[in-house]
Structure 1
Amino acid sequence: MYVTVEDFIVEWNKEAALTQRVLDGLTDEALGQQVYSEGRTLGRIAWHLVANIPEYLTEFGVPTAGVRDPDEVPSAREIADTFRTVAAEAAESLGKHWTDDSPKQTQQAFGRTETNAMILMGLIKHIVHHRGQATVLMRQAGLPIPAVYGPSKEGWAQFGRTPPL
């Protein structure tokens, strides 16, 4: 758990770097990929992941500039570039607006009382969840998948090995 704001920022920067690698692998052609016809597209999932960060932080008392038109999915490059900016601004804004006492404080979140540390954990879980969805859709679209918590199929191939079953 996060005891200080810096604890969160360190973890945030690690997860943001992993997410950036995934988003950098998107292509405009793949943004329309869906698991099923009524499901969100890869582009919608990726853009939601990005656009939600400033909304989430602002909701919980960390002022952060929003993205332009969160309802309109932009190009793959703009999704990746905007994430880079939003992730950096999130860490910077937390460092400016919260103290090391802030993670222990509580507030209402999702109909219950939560510590700010738990709220921040929820933000990380949210990007991890959607990053996982994005990698599945990327695989279906024929895109290479970067390593996240371990080698992907492509990573194993670079080691000259086949992935374990």
Structure 2
Amino acid sequence: MFRTMQDFATEWTRESEQTALLLDACKDESLQQRVAEGHRTLGEIAWHLVQSLHYMTQLGLSFSAPNDEASTSAKKMAQEYRTISRELLQAVTTQWNDESLHETIELWGQNWRKGEVLLFTIMHQVHHRGQMTVLMRQAGYAEVPLMFG
């Protein structure tokens, strides 16, 4: 759980840049790569990373929704991700404060502290980056950006 806005801002900046670098490495021709039938494609996971950040508006934060037209181009998805991740950081750091991180809110039928939601948001990104690296390797990428060494 994050207890200060500065701690979140530092970690979000680092982790969102890692996500953006992975999205930058995606190629249009491999967006249909899937691990198995019935599972998301590389492109669907990439677009999910872009769209999913907007769930934070359910918690009272205000920022723009992603542009759906970006969902078919790897380059546009990476650009859209950078935009919405900056907007999320701006919204969190200007609309919440250190004290509000301890406030409890209802999300998905459960009570969460706002600081816990921010940690979940980062962990969600990391989870899907892992999925993407597997699909990129399956698609034959010669190099996949290293995330944690």
Q: State the TM-score bracket (shorter-chain normalisation).
A: over 0.9
Alpha-carbon distance between aligned partners in 1 of 2:71 and 2:108, rounded to the nearest angstrom: 26
Distance 1:136 1:33 in 2: 10
Cα deviation 1:130-165 (Å, max 9, x = unaligned) = 111111101101122111110xxxxxxxxxxxxxxx
Per the TM alignment, residue 69 of structure 1 is displaced from its structure 2 partner at its CA by 2.5
What does 1:75-86 correspond to in 2, within 5 Å? 75-86=73-84
Q: Does residue 134 in structure 1 map to residue 132 in structure 2? A: yes
The 3-state SS of whatever aligns with 1:107 is strand
Q: Which has the higher contact order (CA 8 A, sep 6+)?
A: 2
Higher helix share: 2
Letter in 1 for 2:112: E
Q: CA RMSD in A?
A: 1.3
Tell me if the contact between 1:46 and 1:79 (Cα under 8 Å) persists in the aligned partners. yes
**Whose radius of gyration is greater, 1 or 2?**
1
TM-score (norm 2): 0.94
For structure 1, which runs of at least 5 residues remain unmatched after alignment? 151-165
* Correspondence for 2:11: 11
1:16 partner letter: S
Identical pairs, percent: 40
Residue equivalent to 2:20: 20
Contact 1:24 1:77 in 2 (8 A): yes
Do the aligned partners of 2:25 and 2:144 also contact (CA within 8 Å) in 1?
yes
Contact 1:5 1:102 in 2 (8 A): no
Rounded Cα–Cα distance in structure 1 between residues aligned with 2:129 and 2:146:
12
Matching residue's letter, 2:135? L
Q: Provide structure 2 residue ranges, at least 5 long, that are not aligned to the other structure.
A: none
Distance in 1, matches of 2:119 and 2:47, equals 20
Work out the CA distance in 2 between the residues paired with 1:79 and 1:34.
18
Q: How many residues align?
A: 148
| Aligned-pair CA distance for 1:112 | 1.3
The answer to whether the Cα contact below 8 Å between 1:19 and 1:131 also exists between their aligned partners in 2 is: yes
Local SS of the residue matching 2:121: helix
Q: Flag as ranges the 4+ runs of structure 1 deviating above 6 A.
A: none
